[in-house]
């Protein structure tokens, strides 16, 4: 796995977004209500908490940002030089330094204003000091607008960089543009690098991975390099130079003998000599690409002499390939990997660590032959099939694979699983019921004459049925049993009637007074006597009863004006008496007092919860005007 993963760096917000995040967090996480009537110590603590919390939020956000970004002095030289080429190391350090300075300035502002808040003598003075503290912190962060914007661009570019492990087994493909580097990369790895018939198609480093000898390898495709001085090379070429200079890898330098890349063989050989100092202490593999278009044997004498002179360089091996026909691609890859493995082993043997490893290894060898007899290595015949599978060995153990081939192959041969059963008697393996208990299977416990015995029992049963053994007269109930049955039926019927009457009474007495009188035999005198016994005013009950009575309407003569006025006065008086005595109709006075008390007791807990404290967040205006008014297009009602 790679040691550096820049994709985990958090997004850097802009200065305005940074302030919104911190100040909204302060508003959400701290109390929001304070009153002038509180003690001054409580008011001071309220506003000091606001200032300290805002300082902690700024410090936390800036600290995480500074930790996420890599420090140029602490990372691998390859990544340090790569960042210097892409972003300018001085600008990068300056931006991080400004954020670190801003964090210290915010801490100093918070410390000063907390000291001033300790001596504030009123709520207004505390509020103004808190306002000034948060304003100075916001001003400091607004000045970091350019640094935050620059770091966000750096973060986006770092996230697009490939994850390269500088210490693993690596092959670096380099050379002039359009010589076949990306095509070779796509052939040997699972990468998908863009390949086009023009120069500088690859503008950055691409990493692909492959497996060789059960090991993971990474292959780096570098942008093309031109033959000119180092100071004249652009950013794209300097990425290749950085990888060649700092990564311990096998260098695969590609040369296009057909000159289809647009550069002559002389230019390609000259570039090899100019960048050869970067190949020090690294295995070099010269790869002649596009051999389907031009082979070494078909070169002219001048070019052949230049190539032969190049092959005489110390530590240089050659190979040829064609990515178009896949000729020599795997052979070139394998030779490069073998050279790199051998170089890494030699480098480890030259270190001091190998001494510690060799001290832990000891191979015991006999100094002389025991008894003067030569005893070579011997593998028993029983283990020969387990050690190796040799079809030509006649002494090897027969395997299921051999039986499958002899019996017709896959899909025809059926594996015999019962032959491996470990039973007391091998003849039991292929029984229809092979379950064994005490040396017997289930079939051993079955009586062989059980079917004949079952048939005899069935015949005996039929004979008894024909003789009428199972037939019997109906039981004759005596008079006592009949009487008990009738009594039980009458009791069940009476219970059903009582249950129905109870349900009827319950449905009619759900309210204070019945909706209708079921018993028509009760007179007004009986009702008045009952109400007097309960302590209810007789006149009130009579007026109410008279008002609720429904007398039949008769056609009569039209009354005179005096009679109409008298009737209206009587109706008004009756209605007023009803309103005056309405509270006394359903309940007694003591019952009304008791119900009112119970009502207040039940509301007490809800009233206590309804109180608001200083830490409760209140939203006085659910629809502030600045969020729900303004110019909107026709049919557009989305305010946010």
pLDDT digits (tens, 9 = 90+) for 414-448: 888 888 888 777 877 887 766 666 667 777 777 88
Other C-beta atoms within 10 Å of 437: how many?
9
**One domain for residues 94 and 153:** yes
What is the average per-residue pLDDT within 98-111? 95
What secondary structure letter does DSSP report for 388?
A: -
Structure confidence at residue 242 (pLDDT): 81
User: pLDDT category, 540, cuts 50, 70, 90?
Assistant: low
Q: Which of 352-366, 389-403, 407-421, 430-444 has the highest mean pLDDT?
A: 407-421
Q: Is residue 581 part of a domain?
A: no
pLDDT of residue 583: 45
**280 CB neighbour count, 10 Å cutoff:** 8
Instruction: With respect to residue 127, please indicate whether it lies within any of the assigned structural domains.
Output: yes
pLDDT value of residue 369? 77
pLDDT for 450 equals 86
Q: What is the CATH number of the domain that holds 61?
A: 1.20.120.1190
Q: 10 Å Cβ neighbour count for 166?
A: 18
- The CATH number of whichever domain residue 262 belongs to comes to 3.40.50.300
Taking residues 96-101, what's their average pLDDT?
94
**Same-domain status, 74 and 130:** yes
The per-residue pLDDT for range 171-204, each reduced to its tens digit, is 999 888 888 888 888 888 887 777 776 666 777 7
Are 103 and 236 part of one and the same domain? no
Determine the pLDDT at residue 1.
36
**Would you say residue 614 has pLDDT above 80?**
no
pLDDT surpassing 80 at residue 561: no
Give yes or no: residues 105 and 71 share one domain: yes
Positive/negative CA dihedral, 577, 582, 586, 591: negative
Same domain (yes/no): 120, 255: no
Same-domain pairing of 128 and 202: no
Same domain, 82 and 204: no
Q: Which two tokens stand for residue 630?
A: 């303004």
Q: For the segment 207-219, what is each residue's pLDDT rounded down to a tens digit?
A: 888 888 888 889 9
Q: How many CB atoms lie within 10 A of CB 296?
A: 15
Count of domains forming the chain: 2
pLDDT for position 271: 86
Domain boundary among 157, 192, 211: 157
Averaged pLDDT for residues 394-402: 76
* Cα 263–chain centre separation: 52
In a domain, 228, yes or no: yes
pLDDT band at 521 (very low <50, low <70, confident <90, very high): low
Tokens coding 639: 């305010």
Q: Is 315 helix (H, G, I), strand (E, B) or coil?
A: coil
pLDDT at 244 over 90: no
**For residue 95, what are the contacts with CB-CB under 8 A and spacing of at least 6?**
147, 150, 151, 154
Q: Would you say residue 240 lies in a domain? A: yes
- Are 335 and 317 spatial neighbours (Cβ–Cβ below 8 Å)? yes
Q: What is the pLDDT of residue 147?
A: 92
The pLDDT value given to residue 581: 47
Answer whether residue 503 shows pLDDT above 60. yes
The confidence band for 310, taking pLDDT boundaries of 50, 70 and 90, is: confident
Same domain, 195 and 288: yes
Average pLDDT over residues 388-410: 73
In a domain, 374, yes or no: no
Token pair for 403: 């039986």
Q: Is the pLDDT of residue 138 over 90?
A: yes
Q: Look at 33-42, 85-94, 452-461 and tell me which has the smallest mean pLDDT.
A: 85-94
Mean pLDDT of 344-352: 81
Residues spanned by the domain of 113:
9-157
Q: Is it the case that residue 294 has pLDDT exceeding 60? A: yes
The answer to whether residues 47 and 130 touch, using CB atoms and an 8 Å cutoff, is yes
Question: What is residue 538's predicted lDDT score, i.e. its pLDDT?
Answer: 55
**pLDDT tens profile 295-305:** 877 777 888 88
In sequence order, what are the residues at sequence separation of 6 or more whose Cβ sits closer than 8 angstroms to the Cβ of residue 407? 413
Query: 140 φ, ψ to 5°?
Result: -60, -40
- Would you state the pLDDT for residue 48? 95
User: How do strand 316-320 and strand 284-289 relate by DSSP bridges?
Assistant: parallel
Residues 128 and 223 grouped into a single domain:
no
Residue 182 within a domain: yes
SS3 label, residue 550: coil
pLDDT of residue 611: 64
State how far the Cα of 554 lies from the Cα of 70, in Å rounded to an integer: 104
Considering 73-87, 555-569, 582-596, the range whose residues carry the highest mean pLDDT is 73-87
Q: What is the predicted pLDDT for the residue at 110?
A: 95
Q: How far apart are the C-alpha atoms of 221 and 456, rounded to whole Å?
A: 93
214 lies in the same domain as 342 = yes
Per cent of the chain over pLDDT 70 is: 80
Where do runs of H (alpha helix) occur along 535-580?
538-548, 561-580
55-69, 317-331, 600-614: which is most confident: 55-69
Does residue 261 sit in the same domain as residue 120? no
Model confidence band, residue 158 (pLDDT cutoffs 50, 70, 90) = confident
Residue-wise pLDDT for 569-598, tens only, equals 665 555 555 544 444 445 778 888 888 999
| Final residue in a domain of this structure, among 316, 337, 352 | 352
- How does the average pLDDT of the chain come out, rounded? 79
The Cα 197–Cα 127 span in angstroms is 70
Q: For residue 553, what pLDDT is reported?
A: 47
Whether residue 181 is found in the same domain as residue 288: yes
Is 31 contained in some domain?
Answer: yes
Closest among 17, 10, 106 to 57, alpha carbons compared: 106
Residue 393 has pLDDT above 80, yes or no: no
Is residue 606's pLDDT more than 90?
no
User: How many C-beta atoms surround the C-beta of residue 177 within 10 A?
Assistant: 19
- Does 622 or 14 have the greater pLDDT score? 14
* Section 147-156 average pLDDT: 91
What pLDDT is stored for residue 74 in this prediction? 80
The pLDDT of residue 132 = 95
Total-model pTM? 0.51
288 falls within a domain: yes
- Of 352, 382, 413, the position where a domain reaches its end is 352
């Amino acid at each position: 796995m790679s040691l550096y993963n820049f994709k985990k760096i958090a997004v850097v917000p802009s200065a305005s977004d940074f302030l919104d995040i911190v100040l909204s967090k302060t508003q959400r996480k701290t109390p929001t209500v304070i009153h002038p009537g509180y003690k001054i110590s409580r008011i001071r603590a309220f506003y000091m908490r606001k200032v300290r919390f805002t300082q902690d939020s700024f410090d936390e956000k800036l600290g995480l940002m500074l930790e996420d970004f890599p420090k140029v002095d602490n990372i691998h030289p390859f990544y340090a030089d790569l960042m210097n080429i892409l972003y300018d190391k001085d600008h990068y350090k300056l931006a991080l330094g400004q954020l670190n300075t801003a964090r210290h300035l915010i801490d100093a502002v918070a410390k000063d204003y907390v000291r001033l808040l300790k001596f504030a003598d009123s709520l207004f003075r505390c509020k103004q000091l808190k306002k000034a503290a948060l304003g100075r912190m916001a001003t400091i962060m607004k000045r970091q607008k350019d640094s935050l914007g620059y770091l966000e661009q750096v973060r986006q570019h770092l996230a697009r960089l490939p994850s390269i492990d500088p210490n693993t087994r690596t092959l670096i493909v380099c050379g002039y543009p359009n010589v076949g580097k990306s095509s070779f990369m796509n052939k040997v790895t699972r990468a998908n690098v863009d390949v086009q018939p023009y120069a500088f198609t690859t503008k950055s480093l691409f990493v692909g991975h492959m497996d060789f000898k059960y090991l993971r390898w990474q292959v780096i495709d570098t942008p093309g390099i031109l033959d000119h001085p180092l100071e004249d090379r652009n950013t794209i070429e300097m990425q290749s130079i950085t990888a060649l200079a700092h990564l311990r890898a096998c260098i695969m330098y590609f040369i296009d003998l057909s000159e289809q890349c647009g550069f002559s063989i002389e230019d390609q050989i000259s570039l090899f000599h100019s960048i050869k100092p970067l190949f020090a202490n690294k295995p070099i593999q010269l790869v002649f690409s596009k051999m389907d278009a031009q082979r070494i044997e078909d070169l002219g004498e001048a070019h052949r002499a230049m190539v032969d002179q190049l092959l005489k360089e110390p530590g240089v091996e050659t190979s040829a390939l064609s990515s178009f026909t896949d000729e020599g691609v795997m052979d070139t890859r394998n030779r490069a990997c073998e050279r790199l493995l051998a170089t890494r082993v030699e480098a480890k043997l030259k270190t001091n660590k190998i001494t510690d490893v060799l001290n832990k290894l000891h191979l015991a060898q006999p100094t002389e032959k025991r008894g003067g007899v030569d005893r070579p290595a011997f593998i028993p015949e029983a283990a020969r099939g387990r050690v190796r599978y040799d079809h030509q060995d006649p002494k090897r153990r027969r395997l299921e694979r051999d039986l499958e081939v002899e019996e017709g192959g896959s899909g025809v041969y059926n594996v015999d699983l019962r032959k491996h059963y470990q039973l007391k008697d091998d003849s039991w393996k292929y029984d229809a019921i092979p379950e064994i208990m005490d040396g017997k299977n289930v079939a051993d416990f079955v009586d062989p004459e059980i079917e004949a015995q079952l048939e005899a029992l069935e015949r005996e049963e039929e004979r008894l049925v024909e003789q009428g053994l199972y037939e019997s007269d109906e039981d004759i109930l005596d008079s006592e049993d009949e009487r008990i049955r009738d009594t039980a039926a009458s009791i069940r019927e009476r219970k059903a009637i009582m249950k129905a009457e109870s349900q009827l009474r319950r449905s009619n007495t759900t309210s204070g007074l019945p909706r209708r009188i079921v018993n028509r035999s009760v007179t007004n005198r009986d009702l008045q006597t009952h109400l007097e016994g309960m302590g209810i005013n007789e006149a009130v009950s009579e007026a109410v009863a008279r008002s609720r009575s429904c007398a039949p309407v008769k056609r009569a003569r039209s009354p005179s004006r005096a009679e109409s006025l008298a009737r209206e006065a009587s109706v008004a008086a009756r209605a007023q008496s009803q309103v005056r005595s309405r509270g006394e109709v359903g309940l007694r006075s003591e019952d009304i007092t008791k119900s009112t008390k119970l009502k207040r007791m039940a509301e007490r807990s809800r009233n206590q919860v309804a109180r608001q404290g200083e830490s409760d967040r209140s939203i006085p205006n659910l629809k502030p005007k600045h969020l729900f008014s303004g110019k909107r297009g026709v049919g557009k009602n989305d305010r946010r």
